[in-house]
Structure 1
Amino acid sequence: MWGVVGVLLYLAVRHNFEPLLLVPIAFGALLANLPSEGMINKPAGELVSPVNGTVVAVNADEQRNVILPHVPIERVGHLTKFSDEADLVNLFEEENAIQNLDERTLMAVIRPDRGDPELLQKRIAVPFNGTTIEISPEDYLVWADASGNISRLYVGAGEKVNKGQPLLRVYSDHTGGLYHYISLGILLELFPPLIFLGVGALTDFGPLIANPRTLLLGAAAQFGVFATFIGAILLGFSPQAAGAIGIIGGADGPTSIFLANALAPDLLAPIAVAAYSYMALVPLIQPPIMTALTTKKERKIRMKSLRKVSKLEKLLFALIVTVFCILLVPPAAPLIGMLLLGNFLRECGVTERLSKAAQNELINVVTIFLGTSVGITMTGERFLRGETLKILALGVIAFGVATAAGVLMAKFMNLFSKNKINPLIGSAGVSAVPMAARVSQVVGQKYDPGNFLLMHAMGPNVAGVIGTALVAGYFISVLAQH
């Protein structure tokens, strides 16, 4: 993991790849792989059931000490992740072997009410707390998450429990670590919407209002999200994980973090690293796709100058889009609401101080905490596994499909339009604002130095921000396990 940290810092510092995010993420990852006492340890408290079910066994006595290791070990909750029965037995034997050190951290086994009936009937004998119990591959393990003394035991073997119901209470006079509390900004879904507030304050929606048809280019880029969603499922990911991975194709880091936290928290680190790394690589990934799908003649198309958009139009746009999008996809409300609030602060003309605060102090402070909170989840056990490589590969596919879909949509629209669209701006449908729009400008000027595509490309670029937020809200509404 120190090698991974070195690579991220090298890309950020030496090559200027998204340094505002990759530097905090890399430094957070460094902290995550050092003794973390006082940094990420949780405060003692109640340990709850992860699922509705029946208590199979409890490994706890009142007043017994629970001592977690200084460097946290990634624990597996749902046993279906174990493909080999021997590995599962070894897990319990390892836990049993250290019982004399008072470091047993496996507190309970819960059998869910619902699951694969065939797996629920399967029984595997494992050692547990000085005896032998039978578990099924569908069972859940409940690990201690804080050091302390068990002050109260609420349930026993054979009892029914509901998801979130307390199983036992651990007491300690020590508080949680610094980043346990800072990371709540991600867990409680605070940081990504606050980033969107700053993005809205920094963004001019005028190009989109002046040329509304570019909204279709931003929508077309979302094909990358759905193509990757299907690809992730084919590679064996769950629908929830596939949705979180697919959103990488939207090229929107905060949205990727927001959705990963909601659908697949265990994949938050690789998804965030993939999203921000590939956002930084947009100038390298997009141009070959853009040139491969367009002719020299198409790249030289000059678009008509955009009309001036009035202040009233911009204010009405912010209000109408807020209402329409939230009514259409309610789970997208935190992102859409903050994005358009920031934009309204920018455009109304009477909240200059608030607009500047959102553009500067707020977004800068939140970016530091967001990046390090993502990095702090990058323990070796969580990050260095095959799933990470699959996510990185799917991320490239997501960006490529999104770019191609935007370019092809522009070419398709030109079949029915008198006022031709330069297909190069279709690549800006991904929501990497304003980097993707700048790439359209650079590639366009390579073939016609007098062609200025930047403002035209900003239309699909900001449309992509809205589109990705709506897709994220859709995935939450359909895939979230309530």
Structure 2
Amino acid sequence: MLEGIMKMLEQTAFAELTLGNILMFVVALLILYISVKKDAEPLLLVPIAFGIILGNIPLSGIRDEGGLLWYLYQGVSKGIYPPLIFLGIGALTDFSFMLSYPLTIFLGGAAQVGIFTAFLVARLLGFNVREAAAIGVIGGADGPTAIYTASRFSPDLLFAIAIAAYSYIALIPVIQPVVSKVLVTKKEMAIRMKPPRKVSKTERVLFPILVTALSALLVPQSLPLVGMLMLGNLLREVGNVKRLVEAASRFILDSVTLILMVCVGSSAQADKFLHPVSLKIFALGAFAFVCSLSGGILFAKFMNLFLKDKLNPLIGAAGVSAVPTSARVAQKLASEVDPTNFILMHAMSPNVAGVIGSAVAAGVFLTLLK
């Protein structure tokens, strides 16, 4: 009987369980704790954490060819999920803030400096040019774009890049205030900006069409992301396709995000995740984030040298494309200095510009390095 029990145990996953697998379970539980207890991006981190558990159970075959996650992962490796997420983001996002104060669009561009800075540092650390490009995109604070680029350039590093990107997005309420308080004085935080002008419906409808055409002509490789983002926004603005807006912004976005996060988590297997290369990627991701936040703030301060109506530099940090989290953090910081100072709408302008900027930056890499 004892021999039979031993044979049965040998056929279970317990026999193949490694220390690495156990450590990954601990990582998953830590992520789950942070997402639930601290309410840090639970819609992203909860499925990632559970995906890590699924991907580190031996002998399940769930990730092997023909397994459930193998089929779901095809949407990641083929670059299908990120554009669908951009469709939903476009349907949710109001671009009128950016159109009402177009000068702040430059802040969204300046906040992409972390992408190119991290790219250069990654090259110095020994990553090849395609791997460095994929790692650099983490600095845009845009998870889908980071995944899309990594799936094209460095599939073996996709899990580390994706987890780094979404982890730092979840930490924006922690990282952004630190960077902002170092670079922005209390006097600058108290700067009041003029209310945004009202944007006509014609402008809102024409904008996604013109941006799609312009991005397709200038950076064709950005079209899958920018095009789907603008399609979602066009559905929102025309006003008579509410069912499509609801489908894109709720059913498609939520479903694809859930599947994508589970796939990302399941790809973080112990033999790959617990590796020095992954640690380098996490460090580069943090560096890229800080550079991007700093780039937006410093460029706002530079613009103030020439502007009569000053910008509140806090909105420069919102140039990263974590919509709307980074804009809300900017507003919170301004309120701490002056509770009557409302800069949220102004911060949304570089915030949504950052979404476009990160997609275009990824398109530049995809065009130059294809």
Query: Considering the TM-score relative to the shorter chain, is it more than 0.5?
Result: yes
Q: TM tier, shorter chain? A: over 0.9
Give yes or no for contact 1:425–1:457 (8 Å, CA) kept in 2: yes
Work out which of the residue numbers 207, 211, 226 in structure 2 matches 1:321.
211
Give yes or no for contact 1:218–1:460 (8 Å, CA) kept in 2: yes
Q: Which residue number in structure 2 is paired with residue 249 of structure 1?
A: 139
Q: How does 1:209-358 map onto structure 2 within 5 Å?
A: 209-358=99-248
Q: Give the % identical residues.
A: 54
**1:378 lines up with 2:276 in the alignment:** no
**1:29 lines up with 2:52 in the alignment:** yes
Q: Which residue number in structure 2 is paired with residue 40 of structure 1?
A: 63
1:235 is matched by which residue type in structure 2?
L
Q: Which residue number in structure 1 is paired with residue 43 of structure 2?
A: 20
Q: How does 1:153-164 map onto structure 2 within 5 Å?
A: none
Deviation at 1:204, TM superposition (A): 0.3
Deviation at 1:29, TM superposition (A): 1.3
Q: How does 1:375-454 map onto structure 2 within 5 Å?
A: 375-454=265-344
CA-to-aligned-CA distance 1:78-108 (integer Å, 9 cap, x gap): xxxxxxxxxxxxxxxxxxxxxxxxxxxxxxx
Q: How does 1:158-197 map onto structure 2 within 5 Å?
A: 176-197=66-87
More helix by share: 2
Structure 1 CA distance for aligned equivalents of residues 186 and 262 of structure 2: 44
Give yes or no for contact 1:17–1:277 (8 Å, CA) kept in 2: no
Deviation at 1:361, TM superposition (A): 1.0
RMSD: 0.9
Structure 2 CA distance for aligned equivalents of residues 277 and 263 of structure 1: 21
Moved over 3 A (4+): none
Deviation at 1:28, TM superposition (A): 1.2
Structure 1 CA distance for aligned equivalents of residues 279 and 60 of structure 2: 30
Q: TM-score, normalised by structure 2?
A: 0.92
Q: Which residue number in structure 2 is paired with residue 477 of structure 1?
A: 367
More strand by share: 1
2:132 is matched by which residue type in structure 1?
A
Work out which of the residue numbers 12, 17, 27 in structure 2 matches 1:4.
27
Structure 1 CA distance for aligned equivalents of residues 339 and 326 of structure 2: 18
Q: TM-score, normalised by structure 1?
A: 0.71
2:318 partner SS:
helix
Structure 1 CA distance for aligned equivalents of residues 136 and 78 of structure 2: 22
Deviation at 1:419, TM superposition (A): 1.4
Give yes or no for contact 1:431–1:463 (8 Å, CA) kept in 2: yes
Aligned length: 347
CA-to-aligned-CA distance 1:240-288 (integer Å, 9 cap, x gap): 1111111111000111110111111001111111101110111110112
Structure 2 CA distance for aligned equivalents of residues 10 and 270 of structure 1: 20
1:429 partner SS:
coil
Structure 2 residue runs of 5 or longer lacking an equivalent are 1-23
Structure 1 residue runs of 5 or longer lacking an equivalent are 43-175
- Highest relative contact order (Cα 8 Å, sep 6+), 1 or 2? 2
Structure 2 CA distance for aligned equivalents of residues 212 and 273 of structure 1: 33
Structure 2 CA distance for aligned equivalents of residues 468 and 9 of structure 1: 28
